[in-house]
Chain A
Amino acid sequence: MRAPVLILGATSDMGRAIAQRFAAEGYPIQLAARQVSRLEPDKADLEIRYGVPVSVHEFDVLAVETHASFIQQLPEQPAIVICVVGCMPDQKACEQELSLALEGMRTNYEGPAVILSLFANVFEQRGFGTLVGISSVAGERGRASNYFYGSAKAGFTAFLSGLRHRLAKSGVQVLTVLPGYVKTRMTEGMKLPSRLTAEPKEVANAIFTAIEKKKNVIYVRPIWRWIMVLIRWIPEPLFKRLSL
Chain B
Amino acid sequence: MSSPMTPRGSLKTLCGWGRYPVQTCHVYCPRSESEIIQLLKSGLLLIARGNGRAYGDSALNREATLQMHHFNRLLGFNPRTGQLIAEAGVLLAEILEIFVPRGWFPLITPGTKFVTVGGMIAADVHGKNHHKEGSFVHSLDWLDLLTSEGQIYRCSPSENQDLFYWTVGGMGLTGVILRAAFRLRPIKTAWIRQTTRIAKHLDEVIDLFEAAQDVTYSVAWIDCLATGSRLGRSVLMLGEHATREELPAKYRQRPLWTPRRRKISIPVDFPNGALNALTVRAFNQLYFLNSQRKAGQSFVDWDTFFYPLDSLLGWNRIYGRRGFVQFQCVLPLSTAREGLLALLHCTSAAGAGSFLAVLKKLGDQQGYFSFPMAGYTLALDFPMSQRTLKVLDQLEEITLQYGGRFYLAKDSHLSPMRLRQSDARVETFVKVRNAQQWTVNFASEQSKRLCL
A60 at the interface (CB under 8 A from B): no
Question: Are the C-beta atoms of A42 and B73 separated by less than 8 Å?
Answer: yes
Question: Known contacts A41-B87, A188-B10; is A49 also within 8 Å of B1 by CB?
Answer: no
Chain A residues with CB under 8 Å of B31's CB are 13, 185
Quick one: which of A1-55 are within 8 Å of B by CB? 13, 38, 41-42, 44-45, 48-49
**One of B1, B29, B70, B87 near A90 (C-beta < 8 A):** B1
**One of B2, B29, B74 near A49 (C-beta < 8 A):** B74
A218 at the interface (CB under 8 A from B): no
B215 at the interface (CB under 8 A from A): no
Question: Are the C-beta atoms of A44 and B75 separated by less than 8 Å?
Answer: yes
**One of B1, B10, B77 near A48 (C-beta < 8 A):** B77
Closest chain-B Cβ to A93's Cβ sits at a distance in Å of: 7
Chain B residues with CB under 8 Å of A90's CB are 1-2
A118 at the interface (CB under 8 A from B): no
A71 at the interface (CB under 8 A from B): no
Closest chain-B Cβ to A102's Cβ sits at a distance in Å of: 14
A89 at the interface (CB under 8 A from B): yes
A188 to B9, CA, bound (A): 8
A89 to B3, CA, bound (A): 10
**One of A49, A93, A185 near B4 (C-beta < 8 A):** A185
Question: Are the C-beta atoms of B10 and A45 separated by less than 8 Å?
Answer: no
Chain A residues with CB under 8 Å of B73's CB are 41-42, 44-45
A100 to B1, CA, bound (A): 9
Chain B residues with CB under 8 Å of A88's CB are 1
A235 at the interface (CB under 8 A from B): no
B350 at the interface (CB under 8 A from A): no
B7 at the interface (CB under 8 A from A): yes
Question: Are the C-beta atoms of B1 and A189 separated by less than 8 Å?
Answer: no
A87 to B3, CA, bound (A): 12
Tell me the interface secondary structure of chain A in the complex. helix
**One of B9, B32, B87, B98 near A189 (C-beta < 8 A):** B9
Q: How many residues on B have C-beta within 8 angstroms of the other chain's C-beta atoms?
A: 18
Chain A residues with CB under 8 Å of B8's CB are 188-189
B43 at the interface (CB under 8 A from A): no
A48 to B73, CA, bound (A): 10
A93 to B1, CA, bound (A): 8
Residue of B nearest to A42 (CB): B73
Question: Are the C-beta atoms of B4 and A48 separated by less than 8 Å?
Answer: no
A100 to B10, CA, bound (A): 26
Interface string of A89-100 (1 = CB under 8 A from B): 110010000001
Residue of B nearest to A103 (CB): B1
Interface string of B276-314 (1 = CB under 8 A from A): 000000000000000000000000000000000000000
Closest chain-A Cβ to B51's Cβ sits at a distance in Å of: 16
Chain A residues with CB under 8 Å of B259's CB are none
Chain B residues with CB under 8 Å of A93's CB are 1
Most buried by A among B29, B73, B76: B73
Question: Are the C-beta atoms of A89 and B1 separated by less than 8 Å?
Answer: yes
A91 to B349, CA, bound (A): 66
Closest chain-B Cβ to A24's Cβ sits at a distance in Å of: 11
A88 to B2, CA, bound (A): 10
Closest chain-B Cβ to A92's Cβ sits at a distance in Å of: 11
Most buried by B among A44, A48, A87: A48
Question: Are the C-beta atoms of A48 and B74 separated by less than 8 Å?
Answer: yes
Quick one: which of B164-191 are within 8 Å of A by CB? none
Chain A residues with CB under 8 Å of B2's CB are 90
Chain A residues with CB under 8 Å of B77's CB are 48
Residue of A nearest to B97 (CB): A49
A29 to B32, CA, bound (A): 22
Chain A residues with CB under 8 Å of B29's CB are 188
Closest chain-A Cβ to B256's Cβ sits at a distance in Å of: 16
Question: Are the C-beta atoms of B10 and A189 separated by less than 8 Å?
Answer: yes
**One of A13, A42, A44, A191 near B76 (C-beta < 8 A):** A44
Residue of A nearest to B77 (CB): A48
Closest chain-B Cβ to A149's Cβ sits at a distance in Å of: 10
A-B contact pairs, 16 of them (CB 8 A): A13-B31, A13-B70, A38-B32, A41-B87, A44-B73, A44-B75, A44-B76, A48-B76, A49-B98, A88-B1, A90-B2, A100-B1, A185-B31, A188-B10, A188-B29, A189-B10
Which 8 pairs across A and B sit closest by C-beta, in order of nearness? A189-B8, A45-B73, A48-B74, A41-B73, A189-B10, A44-B75, A89-B1, A188-B8
